[in-house]
Amino acid sequence: MAIDQFSLQFETSGRGALDISNSINSRLLDSRVKSGVAHIFLQHTSASMMLCENADPTVLVDLEMILANIAPDGDPRYQHDYEGDDDMPAHIRSILTSNDVSLPITDGHLNLGTWQGLFLYEHRYRPHRRNVVVTVIGE
């Protein structure tokens, strides 16, 4: 059994989803873990780690529409709006979709389903640098 922990940085281009499956898979080659679990953790409360259908980009368009329904930007009822209309909605989206995910590693790579991609979802309007801590445990 072995453990490998490392950080990765991703530059988002504002609100929207970034497929990071390949970035994680590339780095897994160095871990030399063939079978185990990769725990992928985002150190932020206004972005998410999310599994989503990765074939049709309109899935992300429709998802964005529903997230905006659940937590509307600039809702006058928000008390927490220091950083703008997208501040509090970003926290709510982050909580509902989560900041961490664990994925099985099989034959040295993420064992995702055929149409499953791992996305970093930026909930703020502006681009941000986001830090991800990955911990790989296996053999």
- The contact set with a second copy (CB under 8 A) reads 1-3, 5, 35-37, 39, 41-46, 50-53, 56, 58-59, 61-63, 65-66, 69-71, 77-80, 82, 88, 91-92, 94-104, 106, 111-116, 131, 133, 135, 137-139
If we measure between CA atoms, which residue out of 29, 31, 26, 43 comes closest to residue 6? 31
Distance from C-alpha of 125 to C-alpha of 13, rounded to nearest angstrom: 8
Q: Of 23 and 137, which has the nearer Cβ to a second copy? A: 137
Q: In the complex, what is the shortest distance from the CB of residue 117 to a second copy, in angstroms, rounded to a whole number?
A: 9
User: What is the nearest approach in angstroms of a second copy to the Cβ of residue 84?
Assistant: 14
Minimum Å distance from CB 112 to a second copy? 7
Q: Is 4 exposed, middle or buried (0-12, 13-18, 19+ CB in 10 A)?
A: middle
Residue closer to a second copy by CB (options 56, 127) is 56
- Tell me the C-alpha distance between 115 and 112, whole Å: 8
| Cβ-based nearer residue to a second copy, 112 or 125 | 112
Where does the chain have alpha helices with state H?
A: 21-31, 58-70, 87-97
Copy the structure tokens of residue 50: 């999310």
Q: Which two tokens stand for residue 90?
A: 């970003």
Nearer to a second copy, 14 or 34 (CB): 34
